[in-house]
Structure 1
Amino acid sequence: MTVEALVISLRSAAARRAMQEAQLGRLGLPHRLLDAVNAAGIQAADLARWQRAWCRPLRASEIACALSHRQAWSEVAAGTQPRLILEDDAVLGPATAAVLDVLQHRSGLDCVTLETFTLPKLLGRRVAIGATGHMLAEVFRDSAGAAAYLLWPDGARRLLASLPGLLPPADAAINLTVGLRMYQVEPACAMQAIFLPRGEGITPEVAETTISNAPRPKVDSAGDWLRYKLRRLRVSAILLRKRLRGLGRSQKRIAEFRIA
């Protein structure tokens, strides 16, 4: 069975949807477009509540993105097979399908990121997975990004149950979920379009990011400021435990991305 991709995409994002349809078709990956939450459609009361549900005030676009990933997690949690979760600006390398075919049959995994970023990650020892020279390494600290990751039902359930009452961005939730068996594919099979040269289907409409364009909301009160700081301390403690667990068996490195 070939891994199915769930592509998180706004209905209005025609260029990105076309890019994903084209590349997933080339790779032979079955896929389904998952309509992303539109920030404009979030009720004002819900927006106000979620805006203060993290370690800092969240933009409406960040809330919508986090809720969209949670929709995808719910679908994976309700099933029995791992799914590839894609944001609609993720560009995939040619070995992606072969890597997924191998990974879906491995045990002991909750979440495997196919994505690399422009910053180093704290990664463990590489282990060959027998697919086109690719390897797998445990993630002790990621940098950012949730554009392309293979998620198992157990992992989805762990993500949904993590940090109750809070709404971390998807990449933060993945990085902070205690007990999540998280790994990195090396060389990476995906990178967001914003970090790649234009051409080959990567147009300005595909590469432009809208999540961080809006100004960040301000802290409303001293009480909110204190709540944010206390949450940040909680987050820092989780990250410190992960770093300590990786002492002596991890290193900082940037996962290479092969576009061809």
Structure 2
Amino acid sequence: MATPTGTASPATGKFTGAAAVAIVPAALQSGELRRRVTGKRPAPADRSCEASSTPNVQRASKEPMRTLVINLDRRKDRWESMRSRLNSLEGLETFPLRLERFPATDGSVDEVPTETISQTWTTDRNAKYDGRPGYRVGVQLQMTPGERGCAMSHVRAWRSVAASTCEKPVLILEDDAVPSPTTFLKRLARSVPRAAAAEADLVYLGYIKGAPWRRQVAPGLHEAEYLWTTVSYVLWPSGARKLLACLPVDEPIDNFMGWLTSQRRVLALAAVPQMVTQELEWDQGSDVPHSDVLLETVACNSAIASCEDRGMWAERSGFLAACKPSQAGHMQVS
């Protein structure tokens, strides 16, 4: 199988297509065998996105689900690892994926328009959900090049999804996503139609939970209020258009999406339990340096300096745990 090479421009944000690989077992790649399975000839390409009278409903078929893997050009190693993971998933015979490498915007070298992605952000919104030191109203931070590039990559993916002529959902993965090898596709096959019936805009498959669930929508699906990370989610074109209507992105992309969810600008559901994890913790081994990690370190050092004795410090042992982002990370709600 040849390695696909994307042709999207990370600098301009215009998506002009990418070579795709359908992750379909060999037994289903033959047209004759496909007719035996489906009982009919494959629909012509120009009929693959016929309009549906019901919003967000994916037609029941063995047509592969479009899957975008956001990957930096300089990290082809992660792309190869991701292809290997996805090719080894159980259930591809019944729920195949059409995999596309989506070239990420490299914030350190590519131009990121300020009218699309802001250069600064404040902790005002995140402070409502994140109890770590430093998260208080009124703190302004400079977004790192990695954060801006990451945000631009997702915005470009949204534009690609929004450009669809039908309402079929798209699976979006970052290149450090680790789907459950035995249950991911089985659960995805159940979750997509259930989310569509609830008219969801997107479904988080992996996340860090920042607030209690609002309600259970269906078995295995809850309505979210505020979630962190963008490692994996399913997005409908209608949802992509809602996200794009809220530009510019004025904080790290997961905070931005979380805030829109909290304000009910989009209806975001979450798979419970999670279907995808990250290869490493959110703040370790990432190609995206976080602007708020430095803020947290400064806040912790200040707190340590203000402690008058070891007894006082012992009373603040919980604070010590929060001061170690590499171990504690976001203060996830159980």
1:1-260 to 2 correspondence within 5 Å? 1-27=63-89, 28=92, 29-43=97-111, 46=113, 50=117, 52-55=119-122, 56-79=141-164, 80=166, 81-93=168-180, 94-105=182-193, 106-107=196-197, 108-117=199-208, 121-129=211-219, 135-142=220-227, 144-162=228-246, 164-177=247-260, 178-195=264-281, 208-212=285-289, 253-254=333-334
Alpha-carbon distance between aligned partners in 2 of 1:171 and 1:195, rounded to the nearest angstrom: 15
Q: Which structure shows the higher helix fraction? A: 1
State the shift of 1:60 in Å: 0.6
Q: Deviations over 1:98-146 (max 9, x none)?
A: 22222333321111000033x55421333544xxxxx10000122x100
> Structure 2: any 5+ residue segments left out of the alignment?
1-62, 123-140, 296-331
Alpha-carbon distance between aligned partners in 2 of 1:23 and 1:92, rounded to the nearest angstrom: 8
Q: Deviations over 1:186-233 (max 9, x none)?
A: 11101111139xxxxxxxxxx711312689899xxxxxxxxxxxxxxx
Highest relative contact order (Cα 8 Å, sep 6+), 1 or 2? 1
Alpha-carbon distance between aligned partners in 1 of 2:249 and 2:216, rounded to the nearest angstrom: 33
> Structure 1: any 5+ residue segments left out of the alignment?
130-134, 197-206, 219-251, 255-260
Alpha-carbon distance between aligned partners in 2 of 1:215 and 1:182, rounded to the nearest angstrom: 25
Letter in 1 for 2:119: R
State the shift of 1:12 in Å: 1.4
Alpha-carbon distance between aligned partners in 2 of 1:14 and 1:214, rounded to the nearest angstrom: 25
Q: TM-score, normalised by structure 1?
A: 0.68
State the shift of 1:150 in Å: 0.5
Alpha-carbon distance between aligned partners in 2 of 1:48 and 1:165, rounded to the nearest angstrom: 6
State the shift of 1:97 in Å: 1.3
Q: Is the 8 A contact 1:66 1:167 kept in 2?
A: no
Alpha-carbon distance between aligned partners in 1 of 2:115 and 2:293, rounded to the nearest angstrom: 14
Letter in 1 for 2:232: A
Alpha-carbon distance between aligned partners in 1 of 2:216 and 2:162, rounded to the nearest angstrom: 28
Alpha-carbon distance between aligned partners in 1 of 2:115 and 2:65, rounded to the nearest angstrom: 37
SS in structure 2 at match of 1:208: coil
Alpha-carbon distance between aligned partners in 1 of 2:203 and 2:74, rounded to the nearest angstrom: 29
Alpha-carbon distance between aligned partners in 1 of 2:72 and 2:111, rounded to the nearest angstrom: 17
State the shift of 1:30 in Å: 2.2
Percent of aligned pairs with the same residue? 26
Alpha-carbon distance between aligned partners in 1 of 2:152 and 2:294, rounded to the nearest angstrom: 18
Alpha-carbon distance between aligned partners in 2 of 1:128 and 1:84, rounded to the nearest angstrom: 20
Q: TM-score, normalised by structure 2?
A: 0.54
Q: Is the 8 A contact 2:239 2:266 kept in 1?
A: yes
More displaced stretch, 23-32 vs 78-87: 23-32
